[in-house]
Structure 1
Amino acid sequence: MRITVFTVATPDLEPAQLAAAAKRAGLDGIEWRYQDVPKPQKDAPSSFWGNNKCSIPTVWEEKDLEVFREAAARSGIQSAAVVPYLTPGDMAGTERVLRAARYLGASFIRLGVHVYDRTRPFAELFAQQRRYLKQAEELCRAYGIKGIIETHHGTIAPTASAAYRLVEECDPAHIGVLYDPGNMVYEGYENYRMGMEILGPYLAHVHAKNAAWEQLPEDPEDGVTRWRVVWAGLKKGVVDWKQVIDDLRAVGYKGCIGIEDFSGQWGTEEMLANFAGSLRKWLDPK
């Protein structure tokens, strides 16, 4: 298994700085965030989803992409993926991301998944999602780049089994699933190995981060104790990453594990080094 980093987690570094830091940490590839930085955020402190300095703009020209391609090439590291925030059904946007991925030499992109917020029935969202994925499959086939959906809380794919239902009629050579145990702390936990076995050939990528539940003060009005999830360090959260990696090995997974830390436990360079060291130790326990 190889180790990559998703640049949403490295907001303070420019592309060339990030590529060099990833190389120093011994990583194998970069997943480039594909999202605009809002104008009001451009002068704000760097942040994961705000002023992220390592983001491909959605309205790009080749000269914009060249910054990212050159950064990877200079550091001798692969552009593994382009990771946008697509709306399901946006075929023009999906193809534009595929064009960017082809220019960078990336092997996969992230596809959009419907949010589930109780405002629309699941059956309607499910049917629309499946249609989108079949359309996206044809584009991915034409571009030679895989499209993946992520197990993510707040969507119709919070679990491995739910994601499988969405992709099961697609060709796993072109459509797959990004398995994210950290997201599944929020919503969607299933036994890790069982989820991987359910996904089978659709298991295309993995993200490494962690999260934990914390208890809130008792509500004085109704006396109910409520809980919330917060991001945590790799070794500090609910996910047992040694077990996850043992299970990945057991099902024969040979893809990438992408670093996506939101804990703020370390600065960016230290975070990359710590994640890489821990993951390597679990990947090669000898």
Structure 2
Amino acid sequence: MRFAVFSASTPDWTPEETVAQLAAQGWDGVEWRVTDQDEADPPGFWAGNRATFPLSGLEGDLPRIAAITRAAGLEISGLGTYVPVRDRANAERVLAAVAALGAGRARVILPGLDSGDYRELMDQTRRDLTWIADRAAAHGVTALVELHHRTIVASASAAMRLLDGLAPQQVGVIHDIGNLTIEGFEDPLAAFEMLGPYLAHVHVKNVAWLVTGTRADGGPRWSAEWAPLREGQADIEAYFAALHQFGYDGWVTVEDFSTVVPLAERTRDNLAYLRELDQRVRVRGA
């Protein structure tokens, strides 16, 4: 496996600082966040993120992205964009961008559950992805959709309903254990087997369910909060064991949105933890 960090989770660092830190810590790659965002001070994950490249003018930033990443000895595991699947013009742009970077893959965003009737959203998204698959083939890259809570594809089962019949070389799935702990959880090995060749990428983060209030009926109100990899409810070691049993040996990108531990310490410990787990499950499986 190769380990990368999604720059959405490194908001305090500039792109140059991000690659310098990750290279010094021993990471294999970086997944760049691409979106037009609001300003914020101090920087945050979703606004004012200093490790984000704007979608506006992305083409002009491609030489910088390539140069700083490769100068640090890192690879680009992909572009994590926020382009809606229905936005065909910008989908074309990001597919062309990853082709120019030699990065191979870019994420597009699926509709949320509050966007309309589920059946109609599925039908329209299928049409959009069919178009995107054709454009991905033309560019020789893969468009990725992420299993994500509160979207029309929160599970592997839903992903197969959406993608079945499309070429997996052109449209693939990001499996994300953190998102699935919130909604859409299925046994990981069964999910990998279900996805088969559509399993193109893996995101890792963790989450904890906490009591954050009281419902109107007097019962506890539970909320999902991002947690350090070692401390959340998702069993990351069991997840790695399932990945190895399935035979996955691609990118594992960390997007740790917990804030208990300072950023540099957090990224350093996450890599040590994942390598430890990777080695342990490999030894057990040998």
| TM-based fold match above 0.5 | yes
Q: Which runs of 5+ in 1 are unaligned?
A: none
SS in 2 for 1:258: strand
Cα distance in structure 2, aligned partners of 1:227 and 1:33: 30
Q: Is the 8 A contact 1:2 1:255 kept in 2?
A: yes
State which of 66, 74, 77 in structure 2 corresponds to 1:77: 74
Q: Which runs of 5+ in 2 are unaligned?
A: none
State which of 251, 262, 266 in structure 2 corresponds to 1:267: 262
Cα distance in structure 2, aligned partners of 1:218 and 1:98: 46
Letter in 2 for 1:156: I
- 1:82-231 correspondence to structure 2 within 5 Å: 82-117=79-114, 120-219=116-215, 221-231=216-226
CA deviation after TM superposition for structure 1 residue 97, in Å: 0.8
Evaluate the alpha carbon distance shift between residue 148 and residue 61 of structure 1 in structure 2; reply closer, same or farther with a 3 A threshold: closer
- 1:22-75, Cα deviation, whole Å (9 max, x unpaired): 11121111111001232x42xx11110011111111111544222221110110
Letter in 1 for 2:82: Y
Q: Is the 8 A contact 1:16 1:68 kept in 2?
A: no
Q: Is the 8 A contact 1:15 1:67 kept in 2?
A: no
CA deviation after TM superposition for structure 1 residue 210, in Å: 0.1
SS in 1 for 2:193: helix
Q: Is the 8 A contact 2:175 2:199 kept in 1?
A: yes
- 1:88-146, Cα deviation, whole Å (9 max, x unpaired): 221101011112212322110002211112x6211100101111111110111111111
Show the counterpart of 2:4: 4
Between the aligned residues of both structures, percent identity stands at 36
Show the counterpart of 1:247: 242
**Runs of at least 4 residues off by over 3 Å:** none
State which of 51, 54, 58 in structure 2 corresponds to 1:57: 54
Evaluate the alpha carbon distance shift between residue 217 and residue 90 of structure 1 in structure 2; reply closer, same or farther with a 3 A threshold: closer
Evaluate the alpha carbon distance shift between residue 33 and residue 24 of structure 1 in structure 2; reply closer, same or farther with a 3 A threshold: same
CA deviation after TM superposition for structure 1 residue 224, in Å: 2.9
TM superposition score normalised by structure 2 = 0.94
